[in-house]
Amino acid sequence: MTRRQMLARSAAVFAGGVLLKEVGEAQGAPPPPSAGNQRPGADAINRHLPVHTPNVENLPWKIVDGVKVFHLIAEPVRHELAPGLRVDGWGYNGRVHGPTIEAVEGDRVRIYVTNRLPEPTSVHWHGILLPNGMDGVAGLNQRPIPPGETYRYEFTLRQHGTHMYHPHFDEMTQMAMGMMGLFIIHPRDSRAYRVDQDFALLLSEWKIQVGTSRPDPGEMVDFNILTMNGRAFPGTEPLLVRQGEKVRIRLVNLSAMSHHPIHLHGYKFLVTATDGGKIPPSAQWPETTVLVPVGSSRDIEFNADEPGDWALHCHMTHHLMNQMGHDIPNMIGMDPSGLDEKIQRFLPGYMTMGHTGMGGMGTMGMPVPRNSIPMLGGEGPFGHIDMAGMFTIVKVHPTRPAPDDWYEHPPGTVAEPAPEQDLRRDGIKTG
Amino acid sequence: MKVIFLWMLVPILGLMTGCAFLPRDAGIGEVATLVEERTGEPLYWPGVSLDEEVLALRVQELLEQPLSAVGATRLALLNNPSLHAQLEDLGIARADLVRAGLLRNPVLSATVLFPEGGGRTQLEFSLVQEFLHVVQLPLKRRVATKNFEQVKLRTADAALTLAAETREAFYQAQGSLWLREIHGLIEEVAEAAADVAERLHRAGNITDLALAREMERYQQARLAHMQARTRQALDQEKLAVLLGVTQSESLRIAPRLPALPPAEIDEIDLEERALAQRLDLAVMRLEREVRAEALRGTRFSAMQPDLGLGAEVERESDGTWLAGPKVRMNLPIFDAGGSAVAAQQGWWRQALRQEAALEAQIRSDVRQAWLALQQARAEVEHYRQILLPLHDQILEESQLHYNAMQLGVFDLLEAKQRQLEIGSRHVNARRDYWLAHSRLTWVVGGLLPEPVSPEIDEDLEGLFGTEEVPATEPEMVPDSHQEHDH
């Protein structure tokens, strides 16, 4: 053992001691070693508001000698990206993406990583300040974890913020296959930066050719499934808020190639943090759309004072499609008269599509290749929502809504066909 | 003198009666039997074994239905004018045979001599019968009989060849009719693609280049359709000649090549069957026998080709009559007949070798034709069981991908076009099967040992969208004679 390693060890023991003391104070009694899906709720381990990652679970942990112990298992996973589309991806602990790791500033964490993949892997703790040998870049900081082996990562959390984990061995493939997760570190002082709802959304993109079930890691440009927490609308779970709550949404982008301008309807918000840490209040910038670059996180916060069902989505329109095909002729504006009858003589299933636009394609119910969702939007209270992909809904209701509740609009507050007398009164000529 | 004449007449009269063995119908009955055994179809000699008007009615009847291969064969045997011309060989051969049974007429020679200075004329009469001819008459008759047999066999073989050519021309015509239909559909698909391209071009959505490319594809398809139409017309023309139909456009052909017989034809005994059935081989065997017969009489006839016996009567100038027998013979000083014998031996051996060569050729032809038939069957089955279903699936999936907007309309139309192209290749394979089948039938020299083949298989009709398939006659019913006229 070198002198440096000895020093590092003693530092770890020291840090662990501090953590143990803190945890002991916070939790009163240690949790059973085989704790299930625990969240460090305000009334349990500490008083921090747990982060809610829609569609994703939090990684269970246990305290062993004052160290918070996690176990990540990298393995092939069959995963539903949205109803009608299942993929054979890679993930952690049976999930795509991996479960959210939640901890507190100052925690000593020990994370075992078991590799059940057909190739080596490693885990990089993105944005987390830690010893170089724990940083997870295979070849640079450690040997890759061979299939079948378990490596141990251990470090003390010296910061708080919105971070992530992902492989750094063959990352192009492994991230394209779905391997990534969130690593949320709460501030030591649970009273600081309080919000009432703390959401986290991990953005990513996929190439899954229509009719296949295997993500294509070779894709560089033409991604056709855009997800929040590994789900594409209408598979995304809405963000449920009671009117008047202060809301934080942590946006994290681990897409292969795309930055995402995430737009929230109904509010302006402040960007309060990046993966580098909190932004001083004086520097926080009001926005309605925040660009989340690849490999970055942005926390936004707002007061949910305006009730309604508000869209939250990437503003790149092609990121609001599921499995859109891009290699078909542009049909818009074509005169289709007589064409269907002509072609149906030898192709009975033919119908001209796209000549008037593509709205409502999801409602036609035409047979499509198996395991594909090329036309799917979702159903809303006013009919079909023609968006898909990186889209979800923030439901702000006077009382805390259930996932399938729709906002009930006060009379006269919904856009409706213009009455004839109004048109006349205001001198609007429509003919 | 009277005695001599009577003595000479006896053998002549005896031989004259030989005409009784000649067939009254000049052998058409035997020929028709040979043909019917080998094709399942009757053969008539117009004006001899069937009334011309009845024949015309039967032809008319056959032409009213869309033709199958069986109907075409029947029609050709009834109506082909070249075959009719060949049938006349039977009459000619019969006459030849009659002539071979007759003695050569005796030769009478008379000489009148006028004495110098007047006086009674001197008269000489002689009557000579060629003796060799008399001696060899039974031999000649045997040869002539064999020759007549050969003519019958050749005539029947000509009918079989006509049947084979007709079947072949029929399958070609039937195949090209089907192909014309498919190429018509391909053109229709390509026209739809060109139409879409024009509409998109008008809407400002595609380039001049893209439009030109679609147009080029359409024009290629038009050309192919045009070629298929001409090919079909030519094939129909060739068939019409064999059927003896002068208005080729009036021919109606069942539009689908029949499905394959369910069972393969067994290779065992096919060669023996061919050796037993082939009429050209039978002709060759007879030829060898004729040569053997000829060889028997050669030595004597070569030495004494002009041997004649007769009587001579002479009146001298003094008025006295002299009479006596006369002999005419060659003196074998220069030609003892050895070379003629050698030549006859050569011909006989040649016939023997030719027969062996033909046997070997027939055996090989049977094996080749059988192999070709197996290969053709394998190809058809490959299309029917593998490639056509795959293309159906490709088209179906293409439609799904079109619905999902993953494929454009041009891709979808192209998938349809490729399916039709595979369909046309399948038709080629099926036509090749029936050509191989016909070829094997021909080289085996008669009907093949196989069960009744089924009707057209329905699963292929999907290729042709809304096109109706007219009903067809039953196809190739080798072992069922009940519908034939006897």
**Residues on chain A touching B407 (C-beta within 8 angstroms):** 325, 328
- B200–A368: do the CB atoms touch at under 8 Å? no
Could you report the per-residue pLDDT of B147-197, keeping only the tens digit for each?
889 999 999 999 999 999 999 999 999 999 999 999 999 999 999 999 999
Contact A359, A386 (CB under 8 A): yes
Could you report the per-residue pLDDT of B364-405, keeping only the tens digit for each?
999 999 999 999 999 999 999 999 999 999 999 999 999 999
- A349–B399: do the CB atoms touch at under 8 Å? yes
Q: What is the ipTM of this complex?
A: 0.83
Strand partners, B325: B311
What's chain B's average pLDDT? 85
What pLDDT does residue B22 have?
Answer: 58
- A375–B404: do the CB atoms touch at under 8 Å? yes
pLDDT above 90: residue B341: no
**Residues on chain A touching B196 (C-beta within 8 angstroms):** 334, 339
Contacts of B117 (CB under 8 A, 6+ apart): none
**Residues on chain B touching A324 (C-beta within 8 angstroms):** 405
- Please state at what angle helix B69-79 crosses helix B208-243, rounded to 10 degrees: 50
User: Is beta strand A67-82 parallel, antiparallel or unpaired with respect to A108-115?
Assistant: parallel
Please state, for a pLDDT cut of 70, what percent of chain A lies above it: 89
- B404–A352: do the CB atoms touch at under 8 Å? no
pLDDT above 50: residue A41: no
pLDDT above 50: residue B454: no
pLDDT above 90: residue A375: no
- B406–A369: do the CB atoms touch at under 8 Å? yes
d(CA A172, CA A7): 36
Radius of gyration of chain A (CA): 25
| Better-predicted residue by pLDDT, B449 or A138 | A138
Cis peptide before A411 (omega within 30 of 0): no
- A325–B404: do the CB atoms touch at under 8 Å? yes
Strand partners, A380: A383
Could you report the per-residue pLDDT of A281-302, keeping only the tens digit for each?
999 989 999 999 999 999 999 9
pLDDT above 90: residue B132: no
pLDDT above 90: residue B105: no
What pLDDT does residue B8 have?
Answer: 52
Give the nearest chain B residue to A345 (CA atoms): B465
| Cα distances (Å, whole numbers) of residue B202 to B198, B208, B377 | 6, 10, 49
What pLDDT does residue A46 have?
Answer: 54
Can you tell me the mean pLDDT for B58-86?
93
What pLDDT does residue B7 have?
Answer: 54
pLDDT above 50: residue A140: yes
Can you tell me the mean pLDDT for B286-298?
86
Can you tell me the mean pLDDT for A70-84?
97
What's chain A's average pLDDT? 89
What pLDDT does residue A154 have?
Answer: 98
pLDDT tier for residue A23 given thresholds of 50, 70 and 90 = very low
**Residues on chain B touching A211 (C-beta within 8 angstroms):** 397, 400-401, 406
pLDDT tier for residue B143 given thresholds of 50, 70 and 90 = confident
What pLDDT does residue B338 have?
Answer: 80
d(CA A204, CA A252): 9
Please state, for a pLDDT cut of 90, what percent of chain A lies above it: 82
Can you tell me the mean pLDDT for A246-263?
98
Structural tokens at position A111? 């994370």
Question: B interface mutation test: which of A85, A328, A363 has the most B CBs within 10 A?
Answer: A328
Contact B83, B35 (CB under 8 A): no
- B412–A350: do the CB atoms touch at under 8 Å? yes
What pLDDT does residue A11 have?
Answer: 39
Contact A374, A353 (CB under 8 A): no
pLDDT above 70: residue B333: yes
Question: B interface mutation test: which of A208, A210, A323, A343 has the most B CBs within 10 A?
Answer: A343
pLDDT above 70: residue A31: no
pLDDT tier for residue A429 given thresholds of 50, 70 and 90 = very high
Could you report the per-residue pLDDT of A327-338, keeping only the tens digit for each?
899 999 999 999
Backbone angles phi, psi at A255, to 5 degrees: -65, 155
What pLDDT does residue B155 have?
Answer: 94
What pLDDT does residue B94 have?
Answer: 86
- B405–A375: do the CB atoms touch at under 8 Å? yes
- A325–B406: do the CB atoms touch at under 8 Å? yes
Can you tell me the mean pLDDT for A296-311?
98
Can you tell me the mean pLDDT for A39-55?
69
Can you tell me the mean pLDDT for A33-60?
68
Chain A residues with CB-CB distance to B under 8 A? 210-211, 323-325, 327-336, 339, 342-343, 345-347, 349-350, 352-354, 358, 361, 366-369, 372, 374-375
Can you tell me the mean pLDDT for A360-364?
73
